[in-house]
Structure 1
C-alpha cells in the first residue's frame, strides 16, 4: 500500500488545517476567528467537518483512511449512530462506511458538564474501486469531529486540479450544518451543490449562526463565486438579542461580507418553518419529558406576549430580513432574498414533521436541497448563470 501525506491540496471545504499530535484537524473557521470566542458549542460545531472532503486522483482499487473521530454521548439517551464517511467516484456515490473507536465526549444535559475520554485511531476502508484513473472523494462525517491520521492506497495518488466549478459559500445554523441528515453528502447544502454543479464550502455552524463579526470576516476573506446566508433561527433559539439590535447586526454582517465580495451574488435566506418558534420567542430548552423517555427534543420557553417588547420570533425575523434585503437591494442588484418556508413550509411539516421539534429528518433534508437547487440555481434564480 502507498502512504500519502495528508496535505492541504487534498482537502476541500475547510478554512484551516491544524497539525495535531495525531494528525490533521480540519477547521471550518480560521484560527483568528476561533481565538475570539471561547464558546464550547462553537468550538464543537466548527470542528465538525460538514462539507469537508478528501479529493484525489488515483487508479487505486483499495483506499484506507485512518481517522480519530470524537463521538458524542448524551447521558440517559441511546447512543448516537457513528458518523458516516461517503465515497464518491467521479462524482457518483460509490459507498459509505463508519469508523469504530475514537475519542468520546460525554455530555450531561442536566448539569451541562462534559467528560472527554481518549480512544484509539479508527480505519475506514473502501475496496472494489474500478481499476481506472478516477477522481475519488471521501466526505467526512458532518456531525463528528474528525482528525485525519493517515491515507493509504494500492496505487499512487495525485491532487485533482481545479475543474472550474463555481464555489458556493454557505453559512447557516444546525440545519445547514446537517443535523439529522443521513450522511455528509445528503445534508441539504451538499445535495443542492451537487444538483447545482457547485463546489461547496459549508459554514453551517450548529447553534452558532449568531451574526458574529468573526464569522462575517471569515466569509469576507474566503474566495467564492456565490454566497448564501441562512439567518435567524439561532438568534431566536438563544434569545440572544431584541429587534432593536437584530436589524443593525444584520446590516453590519452584510456590510462586512460585501467588503470582500462587492459584486458576488448574495442570497439571504430566512428560517424554514419551525412551529414552536413561529410566534413564541426563545430561549429554546430541552424537552424534559422527552429526555425522561430517552429522546432528544426541544421546546420554546418564551412568552408570546414579550414580542411587543422586542423579543424575536421567526415571524418577526422573517419580516425584518425581507425588509432589510428589499431596502438594500435598491443599491445592490446582486442581493437577493428567499423566504425559508419556500424550502420547508406548513405542508411539508404535515408530511415530514421535525422529529425533535427543531431539525428536519433525512427525507426533509433531501426535499430542502432539491428545492434550494431549483430556486437558487434554476433559471432566473439568484445563482443562475442566466441571471
Structure 2
C-alpha cells in the first residue's frame, strides 16, 4: 500500500480546516456502513434508517439549543455548511442580502457575482458595525431581506454579537441566518437565545465526518430547494440520505454537547499559553482580533517580518500543520478579504498564519510548536 502523504506531520494545528474524526463517531458509522439503509424504503431496513436519521435530528437540536422547541425548527441534512449556505441564499435571490465584510467564501463569493448583496463593514477587530447594519437595512426598499453573519470567523475566530444583530434585523423585517460552522462544538450555540431564523453547520469541524452538515430553519419559513429529486428531507434536499454520515454527525453532536465545557476550557488555556509566550518573545507580532471575544481555539498570527508562504513551508518541513489566514480552495495563499476589511496592511495580510487547536491538541503540541516557531524566527 502506498503511504498517505502528510503522515510526517506530528503537530496538527489546523482544526479550523478540519478536525480528526472522533473514534466514537467512527464506531457509530461502522455500525451502519455495510447495511442497505434507504430511509425512503417502507420495509424494516428503511424504517430503521428513518429512525437513525430522526434521532440525529434530535441530537442536532440538543447541541444547538432548540431541543425543547424541536417542532418549531426543521433540520435539513446537507453535505456541509457550504451547501446549507447556498440553499438559504438561493431563497433570497428576489430580495436583498446583507452580509458582513468578513464572511466565509461560500457566502462572500456570491457578493461578487450577484447584484442583490449589500456588505456591512467591520471594525479593526473584525466586529460588525451595528450602526452601518441599521442604516443599510433602513435604506433598503426590498420587501424580502436577509442578514447573514457568521457566528465565529474562520480566519480570526472573532465572535459576532448575534443577539444584537438579530434584534436589529427583525426590527427592519429582515430574517437572520448565521454560518455557525466554526462555532459549533467549540462554544455554546443557542438558536433560541440568539433568535436565529436559519443556521448552517458542518460535521467535520467538531469531530464528525467530512461531507456531513445541516441547515436549521424555523418551520414558519417555507424554503425552496436548489435542486429537484425524490423529495427527501421534506423536499428541501432531495437525494438518498447518507445514513452512516448522518448517524456520525448526530453522534459527534452528542459528544460535543457533553464535552463542550471541557473542550472549551482546554483549548482556551492552550491558546492563551501560545499567545502569551509568542507575544513575550516576539513583541512585533500581532494577534488578529485579540481585543474582542474570540473562539477559544483560534490564533491568527501576524508577523510582518516573514511571509505566510515561507513560514507555512518551513513549518511543514518541521512536521507542523497550520494554514494561512487567507488559504483559498486551491491551497494557494491569496489575499485575505477578512484582514483587508479589518484594515490590515498588505504586509500584515501576506504574513498571517492561522493556528487553530482542537479537542485532541496537547500541551506538548503547543510547546513543540513554540520551540519550532522560535527556531525559525531567530
Task: Quickly name the TM-score band, shorter chain normalised.
Answer: under 0.3
Asked which structure has the greater RCO (Cα within 8 Å, sep 6+), the reply is 2
What's the TM-score once normalised by structure 2's chain length? 0.24
Of Structure 1 and Structure 2, which has the larger fraction of its residues in helix?
2
Of Structure 1 and Structure 2, which has the larger fraction of its residues in strand?
1
